[in-house]
Structure formats: structure tokens, C-alpha cells
């Protein structure tokens, strides 16, 4: 009986630690405005106080995020905001939108977004603000709070999708990028969900047509 209780306690701690890391990563990937910068000391303290998990991968993720939080605190505000925009808004391979990686400019993205929104709402989770339902910080927070009665296969499928995208994003970031370790930490957390060939996730991508127009454009 005691052994069973110990195992149950460890599983609970692992789940809580994992959820805490997902929430911290979600916050660190938010736009670095004044509100986030004010929150950084609390995020650092939150991560430092996490109980040690029984998985080396999960345990190693927290120090990675602490390093990110500290670097964000030390960075100049204007430079940090500019770096965020350049990293995530102007570079397609490092976009923070799940279906943008999976489908690119395909018309199927609209249906994929609708399916994600429906999944979130069935689970009682409403996205706030103007963000799309495939915004990675939103999905990370959702996984951290996913209801216990949510089908395990649905959770696993979403984790596999996010794991593949995190690998793709990190692969397009320089190792000294401020956000590189966020995706390293997420890959640690989602390691058990990594597929043998994650690139298959992106085989259905469609690129935008950026070629020459078949007719001239005239402006008055």
C-alpha cells in the first residue's frame, strides 16, 4: 500500500511540475511588454521552487526557462520588443501558430482552426484576446490545465503536433537567440510525444503564391 501511495505521489508531482513548466513557457513566449517584464521575477521564483520530478528531462527543463527569464530581465525593453517581432512575426519558420507550420497558406487551415477552437471549448477553455486558437502559448496553457476527462488520445495527438512544431522552430533559431531555450525546454517536456519522423507533419504545407503577377498593376 505504501509503495502504491509513493508511486501515486510521484506521478502527481510529475504532472504538477510538467504543468508548471508549460505555464512558464507560455508566459515567456508572450509579447515582452511591461506586464510580462513585471512578471519575470515571479516566473523565476516559481520555477526555482518547483519540486524535483522523477524525470531528468522534466527536471532539466526548469533551469532552461530560468535562464530565459533572466536574459529577458536583463535585455533593453525596446530591443527586446524588436527582437520578438523579428523572431516570431517576420519569420515563417519560427511563427508561433501551430497550423501555420502544418498547413502554410492552405485553405484547409481555416478548418483546422475551427477544429482546435471546438476542442478547446468542449474542454471548457475559451481563448482570450484576439489570438487564434492555434497560438502556441495558448495551447501550452491549455495542456497545463487540460481536464482529467479529456480523451487521452486527443491530448497525445495535440502534444505530438506541438512537439513537432517546437522542433521545427528551434531548428531555425540561432543557439544564442533569447528564446532558443524555451523550445529546448518544451522538447524536453514533450520528448515522449516526439514522432519518429516529425517532418511528416509538414508534408501538406502550401506556400503562398509570391511569383510575378500575370498582369501589370497601375497606381494613380
The partner residues of 104 in beta bridges, in order of sequence, read 206
CATH code, domain with 173: 1.10.3480
Whether residue 136 is contained in a domain is answered as: yes
Whether residue 32 is contained in a domain is answered as: yes
**Which residues span the domain enclosing 26?**
2-199
31 phi/psi in degrees, rounded to 5: -60, 130
Q: Is the pLDDT of residue 141 over 90?
A: yes
**What band does 57 get if pLDDT is binned at 50, 70 and 90?**
low
- Total domains present in the chain: 1
Torsion sign over Cα 92, 93, 99, 105: positive
Distances (CA, A) of 161 to 17, 130, 166, 194: 21, 22, 9, 9
More confident residue, 19 or 10: 19
Q: What is the DSSP letter of 49?
A: T
Average pLDDT along the chain: 82
How high is the pLDDT of residue 220? 37
How high is the pLDDT of residue 197? 63
Average the pLDDT over each of 35-39, 46-50, 81-85, 193-197 and give the range with the smallest value.
193-197
Whether residue 144 is contained in a domain is answered as: yes
Whether residue 31 is contained in a domain is answered as: yes
Condensed to tens digits (0 to 9), the pLDDT of residues 112-137 reads: 999 999 999 888 887 777 889 999 99
How high is the pLDDT of residue 213? 32
Q: Which one, of 206, 31, 47, lies nearest residue 135 by Cα?
A: 31
Whether residue 45 is contained in a domain is answered as: yes
Q: Which one, of 219, 215, 141, 136, lies nearest residue 183 by Cα?
A: 136
**What band does 45 get if pLDDT is binned at 50, 70 and 90?**
very high
The mean pLDDT of 69-86, rounded to a whole number, is 95
Whether residue 90 is contained in a domain is answered as: yes
More confident residue, 195 or 161: 161
Whether residue 104 is contained in a domain is answered as: yes
How high is the pLDDT of residue 216? 39
How high is the pLDDT of residue 123? 86
Condensed to tens digits (0 to 9), the pLDDT of residues 160-183 reads: 999 999 999 999 999 999 999 999
17 phi/psi in degrees, rounded to 5: -65, -45
The mean pLDDT of 1-24, rounded to a whole number, is 62
For residue 66, count CB atoms less than 10 angstroms from its CB and return exposed for 0-12, middle for 13-18, buried for 19 or more.
buried
Whether residue 215 is contained in a domain is answered as: no
Amino acid at each position: 500500500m505504501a509503495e502504491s501511495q509513493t508511486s501515486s505521489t510521484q506521478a502527481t508531482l510529475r504532472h504538477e511540475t510538467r504543468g508548471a513548466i508549460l505555464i512558464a513557457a507560455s508566459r515567456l513566449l508572450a509579447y515582452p511588454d511591461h506586464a510580462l517584464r513585471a512578471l519575470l521575477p515571479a516566473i523565476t521564483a516559481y520555477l526555482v521552487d518547483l519540486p524535483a520530478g522523477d524525470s531528468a528531462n522534466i527536471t532539466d527543463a526548469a533551469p532552461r526557462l530560468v535562464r530565459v527569464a533572466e536574459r529577458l530581465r536583463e535585455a533593453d525593453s525596446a530591443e527586446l520588443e524588436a527582437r520578438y517581432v523579428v523572431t516570431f512575426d517576420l519569420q515563417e519558420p519560427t511563427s508561433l501558430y501551430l497550423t501555420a507550420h502544418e498547413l502554410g497558406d492552405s485553405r484547409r487551415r481555416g478548418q483546422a482552426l475551427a477544429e482546435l477552437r471546438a476542442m478547446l471549448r468542449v474542454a471548457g477553455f475559451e481563448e482570450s484576446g484576439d489570438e487564434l486558437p492555434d497560438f502556441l502559448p495558448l495551447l501550452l496553457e491549455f495542456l497545463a490545465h487540460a481536464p482529467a476527462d479529456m480523451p487521452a488520445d486527443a491530448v497525445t495527438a495535440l502534444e505530438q503536433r506541438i512537439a513537432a512544431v517546437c522542433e521545427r522552430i528551434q531548428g531555425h533559431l540561432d543557439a544564442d537567440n533569447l528564446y532558443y531555450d524555451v523550445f529546448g525546454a518544451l522538447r524536453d517536456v514533450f520528448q515522449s510525444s516526439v514522432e519518429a519522423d516529425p517532418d511528416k507533419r509538414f508534408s501538406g504545407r502550401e506556400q503562398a503564391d509570391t511569383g510575378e503577377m500575370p498582369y501589370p498593376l497601375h497606381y494613380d
